[in-house]
A and B are shown apart, each in its own frame.
Chain A
Amino acid sequence: MKSLAELEAIRERALKEITLRDNTGKTRVVVGMATCGIAAGARPVMNAFVDELSKRNVQNVNVTMTGCIGVCRLEPIAEVITPDGVKTTYVKLDAEKARKIVVEHLINGRPVKEYTIGEAE
């Protein structure tokens, strides 16, 4: 290793890979992965979240799964929960919508209203 900069580069790259082992103060994206969710296509949605967050170098968000939230006809569902407990529920998602949520809501702080459960009737 010839310089501290080289060490920093390795550190940044490796940190991205293990950042999900740290739970403190993070926003959580909880994707419904029960039978209804999986059948409706929740796996590509989850993978899209993970992929887009990594591409955009977002460190303070963890993506997890949960069981059936209850509104099976609106699956795939994902909830965004901030560290102070504010919850936004997105419904009828697909991979493309997931990526938009990452950019608009998680990075720029603007929830995407059209995808929320409130608008879905």
Chain B
Amino acid sequence: MIYRSHVLVCGGTGCTSSKSMDIIEQMNKLLRENNIDNEVKVIHTGCFGLCEKGPIVVIYPEGATYSRVTIEDVKEIVEEHLVKGRIVKRLLLGDKDAEDVSKALEDVGFFKHQVRVALRNCGVINPENIDEYIARDGYRALGKVLTEMTPAQVIDTVKKSGLRGRGGAGFPTGLKWEFAAKAQGDQKYVCCNADEGDPGAFMDRSILEGDPHSVLEAMAIAGYAIGSNQGYIYVRAEYPIAVQRLKIAIDQAREYGLLGKNIFGTDFSFDIDIRLGAGAFVCGEETALMTSIEGKRGEPRPRPPFPANKGLWQKPTILNNVETYANIPVIFLKGPEWFASIGTEKSKGTKVFAVGGKINNTGLVEIPMGTTVRQMIYDIGGGIPNGKKFKAVQTGGPSGGCIPASQIDTPIDYDNLIQVGSMMGSGGFIVMDEDTCMVDIAKFFLEFTVDESCGKCPPCRIGTKRMYEILDRITKGQGQEGDIEKLELLAENIKASALCGLGQTAPNPILSTLRYFRDEYEAHIYEKRCPAGVCKDLLRYVINEDKCKGCSLCARKCPVNAISGEVKKPYHIDADKCIKCGACLETCKFGAISKMA
């Protein structure tokens, strides 16, 4: 049946939790009531990117993109747009008065600067329909590889493209495959790291939810290249929608004979199974992940031997990140030269970022390597809300560091970010403004790493805990002379001696904030003051005598009787008794109470 209109509703986790699935149900109901259900097709797609404005609904052929759609809006969309062809302007994203609404969307800063390669199908196809993936050239790369290329040619193509691992370390993908292809072994494995442990990162989740077949196709190509017939996708159990879509995709691929025996009539066979994580950040680490698949407690082991030679069950194994795989089919369809034409000299292609924190356009973006931090924050991100000043952006999650405002013109690529004291990581991009305390941020990330440390090696098990204790004391006003030097000493030693990436990178947030915001640490320690006004124990609540009307409301609210005074005369807060709960500030009707650093 040919439909005259398609309604695409975002079915990523973000929009789903804002009831996008209910919107689909309501839409189908109203289409039936208006008798146009055989003319209009409603499908759910993957993440469209502008999560801040979700739920997103896109209607073709006009290309009208509606944002913040509620169930109540569906009636108007059906009656006005789908029955009568009148665009519902108030819900439109982009220039509301534009003649061509789809062109208008392309002018919106958030979309204009993006180059969607890994996310090419997200928001465009129904991820639970393999035919739509095939319509967009799906599995053609695999067909070409199996019928026209040798494994060596495949590896050469990936090397030529310059693709580097998108999981964080940025190791050249072609080189990794080459090592595994050369390794001796009767059985080899292709693994996919879909654990995505970084807090706030959802790049991989969006690819798995929006375009799972791209990962399956890439893993099969990798299998052919290294000589493997079995793949495993290790996906965190906290992603139920992604797990479900992967299962459906694998079943559909098997049904079409695109996974299984003798694919495309060649003698290459390849199948994929899913393994679920169980909530451990360390299982995103290469060797810990493989140990977990083997059924043991997820702990890393020393290298060498590297997984390419001895990995899963001691067999040659490659492990690549979801986003790395998502790029593979396109490299074969459009050619490695095309891929290498995007990006910078040593960092080719694009990178997907999960933009969050103090920024207007939170969501998912894919940008060419070399885009500057300034462009990300202002052109794409829409700037800092409430007119606040940009302070720093954290990249790389708990393993990364902060890029301060002074370095805002840094072009984003693997090497530049390391030079500036941070790292690419898996793609987290947390923006901070003048109200963020950098010591508190370092403590936040370290708290996470301490919790997630597997405990196997003393530098990480004991070292990170000691660093955390020092930071905790500093934020509570108990910082001492020598604390900063101790932090630096611990950090250097842990980096040099920890067994795996978790420990080796745990000190990064501290080192990076010390490099650019040492003055904040010193204020906490020597002046017992938090310049950003965040650390509770360093704040003083003060009554402004000019504004105070002496109404006594705050004194009555105070749970510890720390406020005293005479009615109709300015009141006073006793700092020693004050527990900094903020009840007085909330109660005051005259704005006379403020938090002072």
On A, residues with C-beta under 8 Å from B are 1-4, 7, 10-11, 13-18, 20-21, 23, 28, 31, 33-35, 38, 46-47, 50-51, 54, 62-67
Contact = CB atoms under 8 A, between A and B. Distances in A.
Contact of B131 (A3, A14, A31, A34): A14
Contact of A20 (B5, B256, B257): B5
Contacts, number: 93
B63 A65 contact: no
Contacts of B263: 1
Contacts of B3: 17, 20, 50
B264 A21 contact: no
Contacts of A2: 257, 262, 264-265
Contacts of B131: 10, 13-14, 17
B140 A11 contact: yes
Given A15-B135, A18-B132, 17 more contacts: A1-B263, A1-B264, A7-B139, A7-B264, A10-B131, A10-B134, A14-B131, A17-B2, A20-B61, A21-B8, A21-B124, A23-B102, A31-B85, A46-B4, A54-B2, A62-B61, A64-B62
B568 interface: no
Contacts of B73: none
Given A21-B6, A64-B62, A47 B264 contact: no
Nearest to A11: B134
Contacts of A18: 6, 125, 132, 135-136
A23 B61 contact: yes
B107 interface: no
A11 B60 contact: no
A31 B6 CA distance: 17
A1 B61 contact: no
Contacts of A31: 85
Nearest to B58: A21
User: 10 shortest A-B CB distances, which residue pairs?
Assistant: A65-B85, A14-B135, A62-B61, A14-B131, A1-B257, A54-B2, A15-B135, A20-B61, A33-B85, A50-B4
Nearest to B102: A23
Given A16-B2, A18-B6, A66-B85, A7 B39 contact: no
A62 to B, nearest CB: 4
Interface string B297-338: 000000000000000000000000000000000000000000
Interface in B202-258: 256-258
A121 B549 CA distance: 81
Interface of B: 2-6, 8, 39, 60-63, 83-86, 102, 124-125, 131-132, 134-140, 143, 147, 256-258, 262-265
28 contacts: A3-B265, A4-B147, A10-B131, A11-B140, A14-B131, A14-B132, A15-B135, A16-B2, A17-B2, A17-B131, A17-B132, A17-B135, A18-B6, A18-B132, A20-B6, A21-B6, A21-B60, A23-B61, A23-B102, A33-B83, A33-B85, A34-B84, A34-B85, A46-B4, A47-B4, A47-B39, A50-B3, A66-B86
Contacts of B5: 20
A50 B60 CA distance: 14
A11 B2 contact: no
Given A20-B60, A50-B4, A66-B85, A3 B134 contact: no
A48 to B, nearest CB: 11
A43 B257 CA distance: 41
A95 B6 CA distance: 22
Dominant secondary structure of chain B at its interface with chain A: loop
Interface centre among B8, B132, B137 (most CB of A within 10 A): B132
A36 B348 CA distance: 55
Interface centre among A34, A38, A65 (most CB of B within 10 A): A65
B100 to A, nearest CB: 8
A67 B4 contact: no
Interface centre among B134, B138, B265 (most CB of A within 10 A): B134
Contact of A7 (B6, B85, B143): B143
B84 A7 contact: no
A65 B39 CA distance: 13
Contacts of B138: 11
Contacts of A10: 131, 134, 256
Nearest to B80: A67
B264 A4 contact: yes
A1 B143 CA distance: 10
B143 A4 contact: yes
Contacts of B257: 1-2
A97 B235 CA distance: 55
Interface centre among A7, A31, A62, A66 (most CB of B within 10 A): A7
A34 B258 CA distance: 47
Contact of A64 (B85, B147, B262, B265): B85
Given A16-B2, A21-B60, A67 B85 contact: yes
A38 B262 CA distance: 54
B115 to A, nearest CB: 16
Contacts of B63: 23
Nearest to B81: A65
Given A23-B61, A23-B63, A50-B4, A11 B86 contact: no
Interface centre among A4, A28, A47, A51 (most CB of B within 10 A): A4
Interface centre among A10, A13, A46 (most CB of B within 10 A): A10
Contacts of A1: 139, 256-258, 263-264
Contacts of A64: 61-62, 85
Contacts of B124: 21
A14 B256 CA distance: 14
Nearest to B147: A4
Contact of B2 (A3, A28, A34, A50): A50
Nearest to A16: B2
Contacts of B135: 11, 14-15, 17-18
Contact of B140 (A7, A38, A65, A67): A7
Contacts of A23: 60-61, 63, 102
